């Protein structure tokens, strides 16, 4: 498996959506949102999660009935307009991030039981850090 720590001078550019997720779950727990409003995963996302999702250790924050799975999609100029669903088990995410393609990889968590879904983070290609003299 690919180890980012082994590449000296390389860093990943990413945007994390953990705070937005926490706010959404809190709003649901306070009764400000209904289950129907936040458990609305598209059938294609459910299908991708069922077939290519990577199961996580955490339970769904909404139903607590099932474990969440993470699904990865790549978007970029040389990819189809609808993006490409990646199979992370085979290291496909890392290959895309290390390639010369200008891609962004979206990591989405999905509960297969209640259909809760949320964007976890966006990963951009790795960049080499150049030390100035």
pLDDT tens digits along 61-102:
999 988 899 999 999 888 888 888 898 777 888 888 878 778
Check whether 120 has a pLDDT greater than 90.
Answer: yes
Distance, in Å, from the CA atom of 86 to the CA atom of 88, rounded to the nearest integer, reads: 6
Q: Domain tally for the chain?
A: 1
* The model's pTM: 0.80
**C-alpha dihedral (26, 30, 35, 40), degrees to nearest 10:** -30
34 within some domain: yes
The count of C-alpha atoms lying within 13 angstroms of the C-alpha of 117, restricted to the half-sphere facing its C-beta, is 20
What is the span of the domain harbouring residue 44?
A: 10-126
User: What pLDDT, in 10s, does the model give residues 35-48?
Assistant: 999 999 999 999 99
131 within some domain: no
44 within some domain: yes
74 within some domain: yes
53 within some domain: yes
pLDDT band for 126, please (50, 70, 90 cuts): low
């Amino acid at each position: 498996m690919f180890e980012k720590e082994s590449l000296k001078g390389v860093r990943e550019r990413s945007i994390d959506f953990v705070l937005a997720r926490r706010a959404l779950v809190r709003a649901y727990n306070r009764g400000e949102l209904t289950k129907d409003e936040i458990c609305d995963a598209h059938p294609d996302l459910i299908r991708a999660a069922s077939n290519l999702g990577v199961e996580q250790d955490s339970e769904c924050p909404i139903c607590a009935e099932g474990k969440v799975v993470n699904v990865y999609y790549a978007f970029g100029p040389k990819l189809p307009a609808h993006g490409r669903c990646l199979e992370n088990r085979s290291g496909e995410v890392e290959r895309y991030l290390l390639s010369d393609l200008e891609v962004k990889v979206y990591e989405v968590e999905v509960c297969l039981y209640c259909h809760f879904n949320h964007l976890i983070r966006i990963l951009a290609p790795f960049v080499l850090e150049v030390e100035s003299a």
